[in-house]
Amino acid sequence: MRLHYHPLSSYSRKVDIGLALRGEPVERVQLNPMAGELGSPDFVALSPFGKMPVLEGTPEGPIFESTSILEFFEERGPRVLLPEGEERRCRHFDRVGDLYLLDAIGAYFWRKDAATRAATERSLGIAWGLWQAELADGRPFLCGERITLADLSAGIAAHYAFTEGLGLPSAIAAYRERFERHPAAAASRDAAEPFIAATLPRRQPKAD
Ligand SMILES: N[C@@H](CCC(=O)N[C@@H](CS)C(=O)NCC(=O)O)C(=O)O
C-alpha cells in the first residue's frame, strides 16, 4: 500500500502520524502540488476531489479522506487510534478538530488578511475551549495516556497555530509539547517546517 501525501499538508500529516502510531509499514509517495499533480488524471483517479492524502493499493481500491484511511487500518486491528468504548468520542473530536481547527488554520495559512484572521481566531478560540474542558482533569491526551484519533488534528493544528502567530492558551501549548514529544509527531513537525518557510512567498497578501 502507498500513501500519497505531502509533509506540509495537515491532513496528510494526520494519516502519517496515525500510521506511525500504529506501526504500519506503508510506503510514502510525496506529491508535488506545485507541479499540478493534484489535478492530474492519474491522481484524480485515486482521489476524485484532487485532495491529499490518498491510500493506494488496498483490497477495496484507493481510499481518500484522512479519517477513512485511518479507520480502514483500525478495522483490521489492532485498535490503537480508536480505543474500545471511546470510539464515538474519538470520532467526535477528530471531526471537530478537522472542521474548526485544521480548516480554520488552513484558511489563514494561505490568506493573511484581517477578516480571515478574525474568523480563524474565533473558531480556534471556541475549539480550544472544548479541548481545555476535556483536559481539565489532568489527562495528557483526550482519551487518556496515549495519543488517539481524537488528538491528531488538534496536535497538528496547535503546531500551525504557533507557526502562524495565532497564539495558544497555556494548557494547549502544554498539550502541543506533549504531542510533539512523541517521535512520530516530532518527525512530522520537522518534515513540515522547511515547507512552512518555503511557501511564505505564495501566501496572500503578505503578512505585515
Ligand atoms: N477532508 C479531507 C481534507 C483533505 C484536504 O483538504 N487536503 C488538502 C491538503 S491539507 C488538499 O489536498 N488541498 C489541495 C486542494 O484543495 O487543492 C481529508 O480529511 O482528507
Which residue in 52, 61, 54, 1 sits closest to 25, CA to CA? 1
The mean predicted confidence, pLDDT, of the chain is: 96
Query: If pLDDT is split at 50, 70 and 90, which confidence band does 24 have?
Result: very high
**Does residue 7 have a cis bond before it (omega within 30 degrees)?**
no
Ordered by start, the domain boundaries in the chain are 2-76, 87-202
Domain 87-202: top CATH class: mainly alpha
- Give per-residue pLDDT as tens, 30-53: 999 999 999 999 999 999 999 999
Query: If pLDDT is split at 50, 70 and 90, which confidence band does 186 have?
Result: very high
66 alpha carbon – ligand 1 mean position (Å): 9
Q: How many CB atoms sit inside 10 A of residue 120's CB?
A: 23
Atom 15 of ligand 1, residue of closest alpha carbon? 51
Q: Are 26 and 74 in contact (CB under 8 A)?
A: no
pTM for the structure as a whole: 0.97
Q: Assess whether the C-beta atom of 47 lies below 6 angstroms from ligand 1.
A: no
Per the DSSP assignment, residues forming a β-bridge with 64 are 54
pLDDT at 206: 60
173 alpha carbon – ligand 1 mean position (Å): 25
What CATH number was assigned to the domain covering residues 2-76?
3.40.30.10
Q: Assess whether the C-beta atom of 153 lies below 6 angstroms from ligand 1.
A: no
Q: Assess whether the C-beta atom of 17 lies below 6 angstroms from ligand 1.
A: no
> Given the CA of residue 64, which atom of ligand 1 is nearest to it?
20
Residue of 3, 6, 10, 11 best suited for mutating to test ligand 1, as the one with most atoms within 8 Å of CB: 11
